Amino acid sequence: MMTHQDQLHRYLFEDYAVRGELVSLQETYRQVLGQHNYPPAVKTLLGELLVATSLLTATLKFTGEITVQLQGDGPLRLAVINGDDRQNMRGLARIDGDIADDATLAQMVGNGYLVITLTPAEGERYQGVVGLEGPRLADCLENYFLQSEQLPTRLFIRTGEYQGEVAAAGLLLQVLPGQDTRADDFDHLAQLTATVKGDELFALPANDVLYRLYHQDNVTVYPAQSVQFRCTCSRQRCADALMTLGEQELNDMLEQDGEVDMHCDFCGSHYRFDADAIADLQQQAAQGRSPQA
């Protein structure tokens, strides 16, 4: 059951041209980690990445998706979270080497970069890339906004545990586009927000957290949006992918294992196709029909 731990709230300061978002996640974070046995430092980073992606997704002005990923030459080859405008989230990490429990972002990723991909349901796909020039993920994302959007933006991300389960939460502050906001005013709000504690974000309803932070300011809080883990994999998608392979390659796979087992790293689902299923898909394709799994 969704609780305030898996909700996103948007809010607006009435006396400043600044908007904010607050998200607190527990079940979604737990499902992203899934059955993977990630090192503690990677679990923490995925929690930070999940929070950041949820906050960034909430800034979208279109129906579509956003993907935030870290890539590098360190033992953490890839960490990625994908989300859409309905706050459906999924993610994973790929590791090649040992990662210490207290490893920093630079130690995990090495020489790397941050890639943000916007994919609207209609219109052009956009991708932005920045180097990992800050010690924390939040620093790198703030640098991205400064370079690509020219919008002062601050992120405050907390990870830990709540009631014996992993938890992650955070806030975003951003100057409204096209509005004049004094730097001192934005810095004042950022200083207040920086005082937030993880335990407050994990345990308290959003209105209570915002009152503690900004009780001397006028803040309008909008209705919550639920956040949930959802994978887009399906048997049909796997069937479509199989039909892009050559007949000999499919036959080699069947001879080796007796079936084709397609595994989704995001959610752990398996989609198995035996020789008869492959033959049916090939027959449909030969007849000019879209293969139906």
Average pLDDT of 88-98? 96
CATH 3.55.30.10 fits 4-229, yes or no: yes
Confidence of residue 195 (pLDDT cuts 50, 70, 90): very high
Q: Which residue has the higher pLDDT, 244 or 167?
A: 167
Return the pLDDT at 3.
52
Q: Which of 72-81, 204-213, 274-283 has the lowest mean pLDDT?
A: 274-283
Per-residue burial over 137-176, b = 16 or more CB atoms within 10 Å of its CB, e = otherwise: bbebbbbbbeeeeeebbbbbbbbeebeeebbbbbbbbbbe
What's the pLDDT at 5? 81
Q: What is the pLDDT of residue 290?
A: 65
Q: Is the pLDDT of residue 217 over 90?
A: yes
Does the fold of domain 235-286 match that of domain 4-229?
A: no
* pLDDT at position 177 over 90: no
- Residue 293's pLDDT band (boundaries 50, 70, 90)? low
Q: Is the pLDDT of residue 145 over 70?
A: yes
Q: CA 108, 196, 175 angle in degrees (round to 5)?
A: 85
Residue 1 has pLDDT above 60, yes or no: no
* Rounded Cα distance, 241 and 262, in Å: 10
Q: Would you list the DSSP string of 130-168? A: EE--SSSHHHHHHHHHHHHT---EEEEEEEEEETTEEEE
**Residue closest to 266 by CA, chosen among 74, 28, 45:** 28
Name the nearest CA neighbour of 59 among 138, 183, 181, 175.
175
All structural domains of the chain with their residue ranges: 4-229, 235-286
Cα–Cα distance for residue pair 41/139, rounded to 1 Å: 17
- Average pLDDT for 227-234: 92
The conformational region for residue 131 under phi > 0 = left, psi -120 to 50 = alpha, else beta, is beta
> The domain 235-286 belongs to what CATH superfamily?
HSP33 redox switch-like (3.90.1280.10)
Percentage of the chain lying above the pLDDT 90 cut: 68
Cβ-based neighbour number of residue 178 at 10 Å: 7
262 forms bridges with which residues in the sheet?
271
Inform me whether the pLDDT recorded for 25 exceeds 80: yes
State yes or no: pLDDT of 2 exceeds 60: no
Residues 252-283 pLDDT 10s: 888 888 899 998 888 888 999 999 998 888 88
**pLDDT digits over 103-136, tens only?**
999 999 999 999 999 999 998 999 999 899 889 9
- What spatial distance separates the first Cα and last Cα of the chain, rounded to whole Å? 32
Q: Which of 57-61, 79-83, 153-157, 201-205 has the lowest mean pLDDT?
A: 57-61
User: Is the per-residue pLDDT at 251 higher than 90?
Assistant: no
**pLDDT: is 180 or 247 the higher one?**
247
pLDDT for residue 289: 65
| pLDDT of residue 207 exceeding 70 | yes
Give 249's contacts (C-beta < 8 A, 6+ positions apart): none
What is the Cα–Cα distance from 183 to 172, expressed in whole angstroms? 16
For residues 163-180, average pLDDT: 91
